Amino acid sequence: MGQFTIISILFFSVLTVGGLTFVFQSLFLKYKHYITAFGVSFVLSLICLHLLPEVFESKVKDVGIYLLLGFVFQLFLELFSKGIEHGHVHDSQHNHSVNLTLLAMFFGLSLHSFIEGIPLFLSDGEVLNAGHEHVVIQAQSAFSNVFLWAIVGHKIPVSIVLMLFLLQTELKKRQVLLLFLLFSLMSPLGAETGILLQSVDWLGEASIILLAITTGMLMHITTLLVFEEYHHQHDKLKNILLIVAGIALGILIF
């Protein structure tokens, strides 16, 4: 897939899921839990099979430190986003400070989305300088496809929960849709930023660092939520089957 196609999928997948949640609110509220279990398990399989090998095959010194940095940075972001990246909101209180809570949550979630979009095409810069242009384009495209679906698989439950949360606020429907449109643009804007950064000479090592940080962020979200879903008191067997199915899908399609 070309860059335009990948960015379009990234944008419209989030926008479509949000739009469907807007229309069928009660349906998505009922099945959100199952969608989350399947989606994050799929992402976890892509992390283990593709993203981590890509990170550790690099020659960046102490690259594991950047994985841990991403893991810790996600903790910091959740001070703002209230854990909505996990597919739910930890702090669901609705009081006089709901507007401030919404603003902080939207900031944290948007920053997370922007950052995770940056490495989508960054492997271009490092490989193209090696002088094997036609091999590089194929390799970059394959990795971008995997990373794209890792982001999409993670974004689907986030989009559902964000839309459900926005609909529970006192915002008008027009404001809800505008905020969600802005959120849908964050990862594509991050990807476009990554494309612009390809012209920077030192990007070879920086691209792997950014990928490691982003992978660490995704590791925090997926591992926490997989264990959380596994230990869920209701429908435990169904949760296990969904987790296994998500992992199997990630193994089979790439």
pLDDT tens for each residue of 195-227: 887 766 666 567 788 889 999 988 888 887 777
Q: Containing domain of residue 164, as a range?
A: 3-22+49-84+93-218
Instruction: Please check whether residue 141 lies inside any domain of the structure.
Output: yes
- Number of domains present in the structure of the chain: 1
pLDDT of residue 131: 44
Torsion of CA 152, 154, 156, 157, to 10 degrees: 180
By CB atoms closer than 10 A (0-12, 13-18, 19+), residue 217 is buried
pLDDT band at 169 (very low <50, low <70, confident <90, very high): confident
Region 82-99 average pLDDT: 55
Q: Please give the sequence-ordered ranges of beta strands (E in DSSP) within 27-173, or none if there are none.
A: none
pLDDT tens for each residue of 118-159: 888 865 444 434 444 444 444 455 777 888 999 999 889 889
pLDDT tens for each residue of 22-49: 999 999 888 888 888 888 899 999 999 9
Instruction: Please check whether residue 229 lies inside any domain of the structure.
Output: no
216 CB-near residues (< 8 Å, 6+ apart): 66, 67, 68, 69, 70, 71, 72, 73, 74
For residues 47 and 150, the answer to whether their CB atoms sit within 8 Å is yes
For residues 173 and 18, the answer to whether their CB atoms sit within 8 Å is no
Instruction: Please check whether residue 154 lies inside any domain of the structure.
Output: yes
pLDDT at position 86 over 70: no
pLDDT at position 70 over 80: yes
Instruction: Please check whether residue 251 lies inside any domain of the structure.
Output: no
For residues 242 and 34, the answer to whether their CB atoms sit within 8 Å is yes
Instruction: Please check whether residue 33 lies inside any domain of the structure.
Output: no
Half-sphere exposure of 194 (CA within 13 A, CB side): 30
Instruction: Please check whether residue 17 lies inside any domain of the structure.
Output: yes
What is the C-alpha separation between 30 and 27, in angstroms, rounded? 5
Instruction: Please check whether residue 186 lies inside any domain of the structure.
Output: yes
